[in-house]
A and B are shown apart, each in its own frame.
Chain A
Amino acid sequence: MQKLGEFKLPHFFNYPPYFTLQPVRDTREKQIQLWKELILDYCKTQKVFVIGLEEEFPLFTNTVIERSLTFEAREAFLLALVSEGRAEWMDKGHRKCLILWHRIQEWADILLQFAKDNGLEDGVVTIEEIRFGTESQGTELQGIDRTILNRALKLLEQKGKLVVFKGTSTDDEGIKFSV
């Protein structure tokens, strides 16, 4: 089976018509479904948070069968993810897309679990520590996208589970949990 690094590609990735947006509704729906799953799966395992429609992205081209997704097709697949709450456009022109293989709520839950696992129920931690600290190593939080983290923090802040306090620079922004 063809692989992208460690990622196993599904069979349909080698079938040329899957790179052309299908005109018949039923067929197109199935096609979109398969691509959605593939994109989410790939982003999750490879920790990709943002997909640019006009940028190079490993899934958009299959050099073995010499096929690339058209812009129209890329847009259709991402739009389908957006409509399911699995992605969000980052700009008005729909050129950049934030991929949410975990919804914001799920990321918030992961953050709370992180606090519990590390005895931070009413402790303080910096955002840098969450993203790159030793505690988060090997967890899903390692290398988490800044936008997604902020959104999850905001959600928890609204629920009174933590307080975000700003430092002198963005680097030492911190949070205090009160779980």
Chain B
Amino acid sequence: MRRRPGIGGLQTAAAARDQYRLLGENVAKIRTDMMKEQLSTFRSQLEDFARKHKNDIRKNPAFRSQFHEMCAKVGVDPLASNKGFWAELLGIGDFYYELGVQIVDICLATRPLNGGLINLQELCNLLRQRRKSDRGVVSEDDCLRAISKLKVLGSGFEVISVGKKKLVRSVPTELNKDHNEILELAQGQGFVTVDEVERRLSWTSGRAIDALDTLLDEGLAMIDDGHKDGKRRYWFPCVSPISSLTGIDSL
């Protein structure tokens, strides 16, 4: 005989649902607990690691960069906030803010000489000189990190790649493709001539002169009429820094 639906059946179904829900909740809870536990283990491990290698992180730029890489892989940004345990533990936030301020300072100081475009390498050298008393060493990676933090200021600090070199731009000048190609070409000798630009890049002379004039107006290039071949040379302080001409010395 077929059972007809009754209150008993409904109650059983409801009870079963409750059971399932309870079980589900339990499973979820166990999972979250496990996750939480894993996370806290991970966090304490990371803290332990950071504490243990505190000095290495502070002093050794290669180690610091690897530490950053590791943090990035697991989704932790030690620079995200100046508060919290990273700052307390490592003072790492302060380190980059300090670098940032010094980078701005150097960029401003050298702007009249290079038009606001500076070779990353030179920037690092100047930064190291300035921090001579500091025991820590600064790597290019540190510079890049500090510059990326400067972006929030919206002041137009940017790292651009020209050929093999990285240049740090501290003026809002937009460099187009033509300008970049000239800068790349200039990396060879530190200067270019109109002839050379025409020949090597297969440009018309109008295009070459136009691009060079813009770079001149922006203060990124300087002319040199003194060579005995009589050809005007356009020098770019940002690719052949003045301070490196005679070795690394103070500016």
Interface residues, chain A, CB within 8 Å of chain B?
1-2, 11-12, 14-20, 22-24, 26-27, 29-31, 66-68, 70
24 A-B pairs (CB sep. < 8 Å): A1-B247, A11-B245, A11-B249, A14-B242, A14-B246, A15-B242, A15-B245, A16-B191, A16-B224, A17-B223, A17-B224, A17-B235, A19-B224, A20-B222, A20-B224, A22-B222, A22-B223, A26-B112, A27-B112, A27-B115, A27-B216, A27-B219, A67-B224, A70-B225
Separation of A15 and B251 alpha carbons in the complex (Å): 13
Q: Does B169 contact A (CB under 8 A)?
A: no
Q: Is the CB of A17 within 8 A of B228?
A: no
Chain A residue contacts of B188, Cβ below 8 A: none
Within 8 A of A (CB), among B196-251: 216-217, 219, 222-228, 233, 235, 237, 242-243, 245-247, 249, 251
Give chain B nearest CB distance to A122 CB in angstroms. 49
Interface residues, chain B, CB within 8 Å of chain A?
112-113, 115, 191, 216-217, 219, 222-228, 233, 235, 237, 242-243, 245-247, 249, 251
Q: Is the CB of A11 within 8 A of B246?
A: yes
Give chain B nearest CB distance to A74 CB in angstroms. 13
Give chain A nearest CB distance to B105 CB in angstroms. 18
Give chain A nearest CB distance to B194 CB in angstroms. 15
Give chain A nearest CB distance to B146 CB in angstroms. 25
Give chain B nearest CB distance to A47 CB in angstroms. 26
* Inter-chain residue pair count (beta carbon < 8 A): 65
Q: Is the CB of A1 within 8 A of B249?
A: yes
Label chain B's interface by main secondary structure: mixed
Q: Is the CB of B235 within 8 A of A16?
A: yes
Chain B residue contacts of A30, Cβ below 8 A: 112-113
Separation of A27 and B113 alpha carbons in the complex (Å): 7
Q: Is the CB of B226 within 8 A of A19?
A: yes
Chain A residue contacts of B115, Cβ below 8 A: 27
Q: Indicate the member of A2, A18, A20 with the most B CB atoms within 10 Å.
A: A20
B219 in complex: contacting residue of A2, A12, A15, A26, CB < 8 Å? A26
Give chain B nearest CB distance to A29 CB in angstroms. 8
Separation of A26 and B171 alpha carbons in the complex (Å): 14
Chain B residue contacts of A19, Cβ below 8 A: 224, 226
Chain B residue contacts of A14, Cβ below 8 A: 242, 245-246
Q: Is the CB of B246 within 8 A of A20?
A: no
Q: Is the CB of A16 within 8 A of B242?
A: no
Q: Is the CB of B224 within 8 A of A11?
A: no
Q: Is the CB of A23 within 8 A of B235?
A: no
Give chain A nearest CB distance to B215 CB in angstroms. 10
Separation of A66 and B233 alpha carbons in the complex (Å): 14
Separation of A71 and B247 alpha carbons in the complex (Å): 30
Give chain A nearest CB distance to B192 CB in angstroms. 12
Chain B residue contacts of A68, Cβ below 8 A: 226
